[in-house]
Chains A and B, each alone.
Chain A
């Protein structure tokens, strides 16, 4: 069981470039999330999705876009990379559960540097 798979694991971008961080889960989870983790900090929610075709903004959505065309995939798009987007990005998924007590399952993260 692969769980949550993120690609790539590392990437260096130049300012102004675009890229897509891929996230796939094989657990048939409805809920998916994108977080960023800056050095010495906790996780900040960028976007989340409660099902295919439904996405919503988190705490720090500026500079990012997402789509959710299938239950399995939840890609994160950076359109114009900026140095402030240098971070480690985590994708997570969870089942709705009973009232939300289900934990999140995380991918291994993508370390992104913008130079």
Chain B
């Protein structure tokens, strides 16, 4: 099946710093979503981005489907950004989301 690799696995940032999280996938995809799992365990939708670029406040994402990767940018990070960021893809066909292992982000004041 499709492989979804996220990097880095762990990231520690000082408050106010910027970061880029990467998601590589091994095959073509129909759909890609980014999620934030907060310290309470909730999975929060960030972006639905099968291709192109989207922005939402301090967060933005870019997916280059032809090159099989997606990037999540976090600018001016805040302590509330801490948690695990997951990339999930839907391979060609009609199968449900396949998740990567996540990037654990810790933002310190």
Are the chains A and B members of one assembly? no
Chain B residues engaging chain A, CB cutoff 8 angstroms? none
Residues of A that sit less than 8 Å from B by CB? none
